[in-house]
Amino acid sequence: MRAAELIQHIQSIKTVRHFGKVKRVIGLMIESQGPESSIGEVCYIHVHSSSRKQTVQIKAEVVGFKDEMVVLMPFTHVQDIAPGSIVEASGAPLEIRVGEALIGRIVDPLGQPIDDSVLPAGMKQVPTEKEPPNPLSRPPINEVMEVGVKAIDGMLTVGKGQRIGIFAGSGVGKSTLLGMIARNTEADLNVIALIGERGREVREFIERDLGPEGVKKSIIIAATSDQPALMRIKGALTATAIAEYFRDKGLNVMLMMDSVTRVAMAQREIGLAVGEPPATKGYTPSVFGLLPKLLERTGTNENGSITAFYTVLVDGDDMNEPIADTVRGILDGHIVLDRSIANKGHYPAINVLKSVSRLMNHLADQPHLKAAEKMRELMSTYEQAEDLINIGAYKRGSSADIDQAIQYQPMIKQFLKQPTDVKVPLAESARLLVQLSEKGEG
């Protein structure tokens, strides 16, 4: 085995190296004459660092070509890059090191620990970009993934390998809900991507929302808002690649990405910089090409599963803005967090009537399904009559359905509420729901 590894190492040694020179830098983009390279390939720009007083290598990726020039985007800021800086092609796309040593760590989009610790030797190199699994190799989703949140397990049951969007405006409790799911889920491993977050929020999420219990079975990938657009996109791709690695090992992985909207915004930055026309509300065509490629990589394969929760920021709580609309069409369900519910002190602020799990009918048993349908009927009836009830225009006895909805509204609200530090098993959520619906029938 040792000899085989040695032969493989010798064969991987580059005997020819390709170089080019930086010609100009325009905004986020670097144009160089050469080297011979292809889209997605990593290049190294050799610059003299004025702060370190030495020559350093800046990683960049080939993102396009223009008038026989190679267009590069750096993984870090363009400081110290000057006309004439040497550009060296690596001959390969970005790869990260993956293994069990990552569990419990916080890494950057390049897979390096951000606490300056060192990863052990012997970890596997995997590319960050891969094709989604063949549709015919995906086993059907027929097992429930327990998340420990009553409103989700009871009313929006999720399966192992299902992909769900959490849609909400800013400050409605997305991160808190993700922390609850990460702590309570029965998944073997959490992979959590924090994309475009404020630097302050990363530590707060880890210490307050996730907690020591959640960190022990999680890998966190952090790409803060101050990092270049390419790093934010790589954060999403790296998190997905790590989840894929553990799925191929036979694990049931929980992938959480907060937020896919910021990934789309980063792709828009790159698209506009390379000259793409803005298509829909300023988003370039490449954004709508990236989203399905990224989101379809999760789900089931013949070895294991990746159950994914993607948060989507909706500007002004507009559920029909382009990114929200596109993501909703790709995923297997959506959970809507409602600001008006949050303003009443109700957490998690899930609007059950606007949310749906497309696989619940195949996953939940008949008593559970029947109970959930009954609760939706009662909630819908109350919502339609709510204005009349609030202004006192509804007279008790006018409608048996509305009378029943009014009677059970406090109990339904109580069922949907849950403190952030409480875990409710799926069986208990289903039992409470069935018990509540039987009262409603009575």
Same domain, yes or no: 100 and 76: no
Please name every residue paired with 58 in a beta bridge, in sequence order, or none if there are none: 45
Same domain, yes or no: 250 and 266: yes
Mean pLDDT along residues 30-40: 88
**The pTM is what?**
0.89
Same domain, yes or no: 63 and 151: no
pLDDT at 28 over 60: yes
Contacts of 32 (CB under 8 A, 6+ apart): 20, 21, 22, 23, 69, 70, 72, 87
Same domain, yes or no: 168 and 298: yes
Same domain, yes or no: 243 and 274: yes
Domain membership flag for residue 146: yes
Domain membership flag for residue 1: no
Same domain, yes or no: 321 and 385: no
Among 37, 70, 93, which residue terminates a domain? 93
Tell me what pLDDT residue 368 has: 94
- Using alpha carbons only, what angle is made at residue 38 by residues 35 and 41, rounded to the nearest 5 degrees? 90
Find the range with the poorest average confidence among 79-83, 281-285, 289-293.
79-83
Same domain, yes or no: 336 and 404: no
Domain membership flag for residue 8: no
Please name every residue paired with 257 in a beta bridge, in sequence order, or none if there are none: 193, 310
Domain membership flag for residue 219: yes
Dihedral (CA of 221, 226, 227, 233) sign: positive
The CATH number linked to 166 is 3.40.50.12240
Same domain, yes or no: 34 and 55: yes
pLDDT at 12 over 70: no
How far is residue 386's CA from residue 321's CA, in Å, rounded to a whole number?
Answer: 28
Q: How many helices (H) and strands (E) does the chain have?
A: 14, 17
The CATH number linked to 45 is 2.40.10.170
Its domain, for residue 72, covers 19-93
Tokens representing 147 are 């998340």
Among 47, 74, 93, which residue terminates a domain? 93
Same domain, yes or no: 372 and 350: no
Same domain, yes or no: 61 and 135: no
Mean pLDDT along residues 53-62: 84
Mean pLDDT along residues 48-56: 74
Domain membership flag for residue 5: no
Tell me what pLDDT residue 281 has: 80
Identity at 233, one-letter amino acid code: I
> What is the overall mean pLDDT for the chain?
87
| Pairing relationship of beta strands 54-66 and 41-49 according to DSSP bridges | antiparallel
Higher pLDDT, 122 or 60: 60
Same domain, yes or no: 211 and 317: yes
The CATH number linked to 434 is 1.20.1270.330
| Pairing relationship of beta strands 54-66 and 69-74 according to DSSP bridges | antiparallel
Domain membership flag for residue 6: no
In the chain, the number of structural domains is: 3
Domain membership flag for residue 10: no
Tell me what pLDDT residue 317 has: 62
Tell me what pLDDT residue 442 has: 44
Tell me what pLDDT residue 394 has: 78
Higher pLDDT, 367 or 396: 367
pLDDT-derived band at 13 (thresholds 50, 70, 90) equals low
Q: What are phi and psi of 440, to 5 degrees?
A: -65, -35
Domain membership flag for residue 250: yes
Identity at 252, one-letter amino acid code: N
Among 318, 348, 364, which residue terminates a domain? 364
pLDDT-derived band at 200 (thresholds 50, 70, 90) equals confident
Residue written as token pair 């070509």? 65
Tokens representing 291 are 């989203």
Measured distance between the N- and C-terminal CA atoms of the chain, rounded to whole angstroms: 71
Please name every residue paired with 302 in a beta bridge, in sequence order, or none if there are none: none
Same domain, yes or no: 322 and 389: no
Contacts of 66 (CB under 8 A, 6+ apart): 31, 274, 275
